[in-house]
Structure 1
Amino acid sequence: MTVVLLLSGCGSSGTDPGKPAGPVAGLALEPGNGAGDVNPTAPIRATAQRGRFDEIALTNADGKQVAGELSPDRTTWHASTPLGYGGTYTWSGRITGQDGKSVPVRGQFSTLKPDQTVRATVNPIDNAEVGIAMPISVKFDEPVKDKAAVQRALKVDTSVPVEGAWAWLSDEQVDWRPKNYWPAHTHVRVSADLYGVPYGDGAYGLADLTTEFNIGRAQVVKADVRTHQLVVERDGKQVATYPASYGEEYDPGRNTPNGTYIVMQKDPVEIMDNPRYGYRNVRKTWAARISNHGEFIHENQENAWALGKVNNSHGCINLSAANAKAYYDSALIGDPVEVTGSASTMDPGYDVYDWLLNWDQWTKKSAA
């Protein structure tokens, strides 16, 4: 709301020609003088009417001036940085009117004080190089009620056109993924202008977020459990085939379920536990996690006799030590792993299940 303050004194009524007229200068403030609960990201402006600013300042309760820009003709000033939550701001300065008379600039307003500010994080991080199935993930420390307001503050820019959409995987996480895998070597910039965004129930965004990252080469793992082989394709060409052992086919608890996964994490050594099947603290090397359900691609030299012949693992994809390291060294976080031919299919419900949903299912999770 803009309020115009007439800064003149008592104007002439025309009945007393001997009495001097008051100053003609006026002041328009946005937000208006005395306004409360102003969003700190709202436009903050002061406009001199029938005159120009000699000086103009907006200060917080500590007396620190807010950064701003004065127009070349010295008639308009606007804040160039967001304000703080729960603050009181005071205008000061002077305007010289067209009549040559000087008048003071006065006014005050206060910004809203959230009941709660909510922190968010974004992944991938700056300068990361990731695989062609990597989703963009924004996670919040608390559940978000007004998802549509948050989603309107999110933007994805790409170096080449890429069709994609946001989807809420939970009340605390919204992901963006392309309809199909990312084109190789795409540069991606994400801006999440969350500061000042109302999340609902008195909660607001704590800070803006940005990240820029790059998509690497196009590497896809084809994991057909019926073949007992793990096939690696890069930029459309097959570059490796490794004898493998997948999950036991006749025990649903030990299947390697169908689904498109991504490489989530890489560790040269992984300590594995599965009390249901009686093992703890099993040390395996060159482990690439593909699901928080418990599936990895990893070395299992002790099971060398079964590789390429029998599926007898507890759900992971077993390779020889040499082949596991070769695959591990080739993999990027975000590479897709397409498992097919299994007796069961993974339910979409674990941390990274973006590619377990088809495009229609994905877009229905948007709040837009």
Structure 2
Amino acid sequence: MIERRTVFRAAIAAGSVGALAACSGRTAGTAEVDPARVPPKAKITAEPAVGARDVSVLAPVKLKVEEGTFTEVSVTNPDGKPVAGGLDGDKRTWTSSEPLGYGSTYTYTAKASGHDGKVAELTGSFDTINPATLVRATLNPVDNAEVGVAMPISVKFAEPVADRAAAQRALAVETSTEVEGGWAWLSDRQVDWRPKEYWPANTDVKVTAKLYGVHYGGGAYGKADVSTQFRVGRNQVVKIHTPDHVMRVYRDGSESASYPCSNGKDADPNLNTPNGTVIVMTKEPTSIFDNERYGYTDVKKKWCCRISNHGEYIHENEENRANIGKNNTSHGCVNLFERDALAYFDSALIGDPVEITGSKADFPLTSDVMDWLLDWRTWMSKSAL
């Protein structure tokens, strides 16, 4: 009897220990939490950063969220107007789509729903660059112009450009026909593009100068983008060999007209009609000529085509009728009979080339329209890139 009771108690004791152990194990399992299973909090970041200063007006504003998706994004200018922009497909990145203004404070507010079910927020502002100087640029030819086959594209700046490479990188030329050409800086305020050879006739050209926001150096920035579209017309070239006293006009490679002329005085190099390829720069039905050094002022002539910034024109001069076609007696201009001057005037386009040879003097390289006076190697050496 004693032995059986002892065994019975032992069995009960052993069973109790096992039951307690099993119960204790189940309680520990329900209390533990796996850190890897806790959703991370959403985090919003901004570019430019909160409080950033001297931000480029070309820098896109970007707001990004990690571990969540945006529910609200607002970027506003100093007037409280929204900056254009939008979210990407997964609603994790907002990017602006318009340039910013100079010297302005922009404010952003963003909210995102995190994977943890909580809302993340970011508010802040940044300031854009406030330039010491804003530089205006102009483009030539003007919109919708029809020009001759030697017409250069010219970008002129209101102030000197220190970082020419930065400005040149912002320029682009598109043509309807493949054309080899390049940019050349003719001064610190002017960069021109011309084709290696004359433009193909009937070429459509588009020029874009995305200069807004471009730093030219020394605190100067581009004031605005500019652009133009124009068309190259028919191929017309004037050739003058000064000793021949004849001005020949070639249309699409064939001679279409020839006019007797009188060129600059052979005996005086200062009055020669200089050698070189120039272009028709302006067409003036009448023009007034003055040169006190050579004894004339307020002289009116008709059907005038300017071919340089040094005073040379193609125009009528009936007062020199006796020498037209016979002697070179002008002060540097190409003199024609009035009927011939009118006929040529009517046929000419701005940008038509005029090729002059046979003179004792050359056109000086001081004009802002020297494009065809430079050979191609020299031209390309003037590129900033």
TM class by smaller structure: over 0.9
Among 146, 159, 167, the residue aligned to 2:176: 159
TM-score (norm 1): 0.93
* Alpha-carbon separation, structure 2, partners of 1:303 and 1:236: 31
Partner of 1:109: 126
Q: Does 1:201 align with 2:201?
A: no
Quote the offset at 1:366 in angstroms. Answer: 1.0
SS at match of 1:273: strand
The residue type paired with residue 269 of structure 2 is P
* Alpha-carbon separation, structure 1, partners of 2:59 and 2:366: 38
SS at match of 2:320: helix
Q: Does 1:121 align with 2:138?
A: yes
SS at match of 1:324: helix
**Where do 1:296-307 residues align within 5 Å?**
296-307=313-324
**Where do 1:200-239 residues align within 5 Å?**
200-239=217-256
**Where do 1:55-94 residues align within 5 Å?**
55-94=72-111
Identity of aligned residues (%): 58
The residue type paired with residue 107 of structure 1 is G
Partner of 1:275: 292
SS at match of 1:112: coil
* Alpha-carbon separation, structure 2, partners of 1:141 and 1:252: 35
The answer to whether the Cα contact below 8 Å between 1:293 and 1:350 also exists between their aligned partners in 2 is yes
Quote the offset at 1:23 in angstroms. Answer: 6.9
Residues 128-163 of structure 1: CA distance to partner in whole angstroms, max 9, x if unpaired? 111111110000111111111111111111111111
Q: Does 1:131 align with 2:143?
A: no
Which structure 2 residue ranges, 5 or more long, are not aligned? 1-31
Partner of 1:141: 158
Residues 138-189 of structure 1: CA distance to partner in whole angstroms, max 9, x if unpaired? 0011111111111111111111111111111111111111111111111111
Q: Tell me which stretches of 4 or more aligned residues in structure 1 moved more than 3 Å.
A: 14-17
Among 290, 294, 303, the residue aligned to 1:286: 303
* Alpha-carbon separation, structure 1, partners of 2:241 and 2:127: 62
Partner of 1:183: 200
* Alpha-carbon separation, structure 1, partners of 2:231 and 2:340: 27
Quote the offset at 1:190 in angstroms. Answer: 0.8
SS at match of 2:346: helix
What is the aligned-residue RMSD (CA, Å)? Answer: 1.6
The residue type paired with residue 365 of structure 1 is K
Among 10, 24, 34, the residue aligned to 2:51: 34
* Alpha-carbon separation, structure 2, partners of 1:301 and 1:244: 11
**Where do 1:293-332 residues align within 5 Å?**
293-332=310-349
Among 351, 356, 362, the residue aligned to 1:345: 362
* Alpha-carbon separation, structure 1, partners of 2:187 and 2:201: 29
Partner of 1:46: 63
Q: Does 1:363 align with 2:383?
A: no
TM-score (norm 2): 0.89
Quote the offset at 1:16 in angstroms. Answer: 12
* Alpha-carbon separation, structure 2, partners of 1:190 and 1:100: 52
Bigger shift: 94-103 or 114-123? 94-103
Quote the offset at 1:230 in angstroms. Answer: 0.4
Quote the offset at 1:100 in angstroms. Answer: 2.6
Quote the offset at 1:316 in angstroms. Answer: 0.2
Q: Highest CA radius of gyration, 1 or 2?
A: 2
Which structure 1 residue ranges, 5 or more long, are not aligned? 1-13
* Alpha-carbon separation, structure 2, partners of 1:50 and 1:290: 68
Quote the offset at 1:15 in angstroms. Answer: 9.9
* Alpha-carbon separation, structure 1, partners of 2:111 and 2:130: 30
Residues 188-224 of structure 1: CA distance to partner in whole angstroms, max 9, x if unpaired? 1111111111111111100111111111101100011
* Alpha-carbon separation, structure 1, partners of 2:61 and 2:67: 20
The residue type paired with residue 159 of structure 2 is E
The answer to whether the Cα contact below 8 Å between 1:56 and 1:105 also exists between their aligned partners in 2 is no
* Alpha-carbon separation, structure 2, partners of 1:99 and 1:299: 87
SS at match of 1:253: coil
* Alpha-carbon separation, structure 2, partners of 1:227 and 1:129: 31
Partner of 1:248: 265
* Alpha-carbon separation, structure 2, partners of 1:104 and 1:43: 20
Q: Which has the higher helix share?
A: 2
The residue type paired with residue 355 of structure 1 is W
